[in-house]
Amino acid sequence: MKNLFAMMALVICASVIRIAFYRAGPGYWATADTLSYYGTAQKIVRTRTLVDPWRTPVYPAFLALPFILESKPLPDTYYGGFMYEFLVIRIAQSVVGIVTVALFYLLLLEMGFVKKLAWLLGLFVACNWSLLLFEYLLITETLYLLWLVGTMLIAVSALRRWHIGKGITLGALFVIGVFLRPSTIVLPFLFIFFLAWFHRKRTVAVWAIVTILLYAGMLITYSGVNAYYSAYSGISRIGDVNLLGKIFQYQLSIQNAKDGEIKDIVARYTGEKQTDPWQVYSENWHLYNAQYVQPMHQFVFDVLRGNASSYLLQSMQEIPSAVVAPSDIESDLLAERYTHNFLGFLKYMNDFLRKGYILIFAALPVYIYRAWTKKSLYWVSLALFLLVGLYYIGVGVYLTYGDYGRHVLPATPFLFVVSYVWCYRVMRGIFVWVKRL
């Protein structure tokens, strides 16, 4: 009962903060990515198919849901103005954020944190400026954070006590996650490995094998259906665009790529030091056509393979800034609206605390060693937190060409817990050592 009261108090705090945030700037905000999600939502409603070469279906279906429930067609174009249905989605995303706070509190209790500390850490998620801001945006981040925290909660619960029902739930969540955000594609293997290694039971091993086979089969099936409808045998073409952005960002040589039209087009923009790959598409509309899908994919692969050392080293150099840097979206006019009074204080605290995330690199060997030797739920869960955080940092710096803060955002609660718990333990150790002198 005490846990319920504590969780309700946390939910009330999260709700009050979101009401204050909404009063400071009611409505919602769209980005360039919103347009592509909206286009896929239109396609889902119009064709009743869930495959698309550009966007995976979960978030576009979420955008289309209010229109479907009202039996209304989506407007032909998203004009960027006020739409009642999108305001409903924006409010729904705030509700999703509140639910995420509650689940995160339960996750920390499941790991073995004391109630007061779990509540304070949950309050951090409730007050986090970056997470609040992204609830206003019609993009995947808020929904994805709910998925990630929920998946972590089920995984930690399965670590504590294995049950096949939890395994089936995780399998379903893995599929939802990759169709919500394709960069999730490798993450399920990390959860599967931890569960199989921690329990070392035949039933868990069988579940792991079956889950991997079904997961891979689902991805192959989706890719096959995508190829049938759009001639693209993959999950999302966005990955090729992002890697093309990497080529521009680092000015990588394209000499290793085969001669052809795509090489000639990219060469023009490389000479102009162009860093926005979408401009290449917007000025060469025929690249959107199906016959350019595989050639572009091959071109990007050839260039990165020919510049592997430069690509890997330059990306690695950006890891520290990716950990502590805010999203580019936080620096635009949208953020400037909410920098007064209490909301301004939340922004200041978020910017200050974010700098401490760099401590995860000092915590890495300690957490991995403790998880391996002690093999307790607490240390294994913290190691999982840390590796999930590193996964999103890696996705940001190696697979995208900018706005690393946005790509690392889903790992923010986990980076906070890992870095500041480590800092607390170091300070406590120093205090004990000094006391003994």
Per-residue pLDDT reduced to its tens digit, 267-278: 888 766 667 888
**Residue 218 resides in a domain:** no
Look at residue 244 and tell me if it is in a domain: yes
Looking at residue 48, its pLDDT comes to: 79
Q: With a cut of 50, say whether residue 261 has pLDDT above it.
A: yes
Position 430, amino acid? I
Please give the residue that has the higher pLDDT: either 115 or 328.
115
Specify which residues 29 forms β-bridges with: 137
In this prediction, residue 11 carries a pLDDT of 93
Give me the pLDDT at residue 23, please.
79
Q: What is the pLDDT of residues 98-108, one digit of tens each?
A: 999 999 999 99
Asked, for residue 171, whether it belongs to a domain, the answer is no
Higher-confidence residue: 275 or 40?
Answer: 40
Q: Is residue 83 part of a domain?
A: no
Confidence class of residue 2 from pLDDT cuts 50, 70 and 90? low
- Whether 81 has a pLDDT exceeding 60, the answer reads no
Q: Does residue 280 sit within a domain?
A: yes
Looking at residues 389-406, what average pLDDT do you find? 90
Question: What is the number of structural domains in the chain?
Answer: 1
pLDDT band at 298 (very low <50, low <70, confident <90, very high): confident
Confidence category of residue 337, pLDDT binned at 50, 70, 90: low
- In this prediction, residue 333 carries a pLDDT of 45
Q: Assign 338 a pLDDT band (cuts: 50, 70, 90).
A: low
Q: What is the domain range of residue 242?
A: 238-316
Residue 179 CA to residue 188 CA, distance in Å, equals 13
Residue 287 lies in a domain: yes
Query: Is the pLDDT reported for residue 28 higher than 90?
Result: no
Express as a percent the part of the chain with pLDDT over 90: 44
245 part of a folded domain: yes
What confidence category does residue 93 fall into, taking pLDDT thresholds of 50, 70 and 90? very high
Q: What is the pLDDT of residue 276?
A: 82
Portion of the chain with pLDDT greater than 70, in percent: 93
- Is residue 304 in a domain? yes
Which pLDDT does position 411 carry in this prediction?
A: 92
